[in-house]
A and B are shown apart, each in its own frame.
Chain A
Amino acid sequence: NAGVMQNPRHLVRRRGQEARLRCSPMKGHSHVYWYRQLPEEGLKFMVYLQKENIIDESGMPKERFSAEFPKEGPSILRIQQVVRGDSAAYFCASSPDGTSGRGPFFGPGTRLTVL
């Protein structure tokens, strides 16, 4: 059973471009979480999704950021018109249905650098 997969592992964008980060949860997991780790800071929750539904997006910036987890395919975190402050490591995690005592299991992260 492969772990949580994230790609790309490293992403470089210029200011104003779009960044798309992908996360494939572990097999059988339908809960996906996105976290951001800014330099010198801890992990910050961004959004919690289940298949085709956003459950909690209280940690998402109001503008330029969006996330989806379609019925088929990976979860996508999309950042439009990136700025230098978006440079960070973005981690995806997944967990089995409705059992908060297991996991979450984390992916290796995508390190976004905005030039």
Chain B
Amino acid sequence: AQSVTQLDSHVSVSEGTPVLLRCNYSSSYSPSLFWYVQHPNKGLQLLLKYTSAATLVKGINGFEAEFKKSETSFHLTKPSAHMSDAAEYFCVVSGTGNQFYFGTGTSLTVIP
């Protein structure tokens, strides 16, 4: 079975400091993993995805994530937070039958 755990429901960082949003997954086989971002009153946008190629994945807006099989993690990082990064972030794992499993989301606040 597949599942996703986002370890922090809320993260606050100061503008210009690094961002770390944590995601752990469980999967009975090699999964595909995704990060989505949702800005207030907006739809979901794909940030990046891992599909068994390079373990370090670069996405849009300076975000990247590293797939660590030994730790079953897919944490999202960004070297320097910007005010526009304030949003809700969802980690997603694909499952059998073309099913997708979402984490409960991490709300990122960026303090000026």
- Chain A residues with a Cβ under 8 A of chain B: 6, 31, 33, 35, 41-45, 48, 55-56, 91, 93, 95, 98-109
Q: In angstroms, how far is the closest chain B Cβ from the Cβ of A110?
A: 10
Nearest residue, chain A, Cβ from B88? A42
B94 in contact (CB, < 8 A): yes
Establish whether residues B99 and A104, one from each chain, have CB atoms under 8 Å apart when the complex forms. Answer: no
Interface residues of B in 85-112 (CB under 8 A from A): 90, 94-95, 97-105
Interface of B with A (CB < 8 Å)?
A: 6, 32, 36, 42-46, 49, 51-52, 90, 94-95, 97-105
Main secondary structure of the interface of A (DSSP, over half): strand
* Given A42-B104, A106-B44, 17 other A-B residues pairs in contact with their CB atoms under 8 A: A33-B100, A35-B102, A42-B6, A42-B102, A42-B103, A43-B44, A43-B105, A45-B99, A48-B97, A48-B98, A48-B99, A55-B98, A91-B44, A98-B98, A106-B46, A108-B42, A109-B43
Q: Is the CB of A45 within 8 A of B44?
A: no
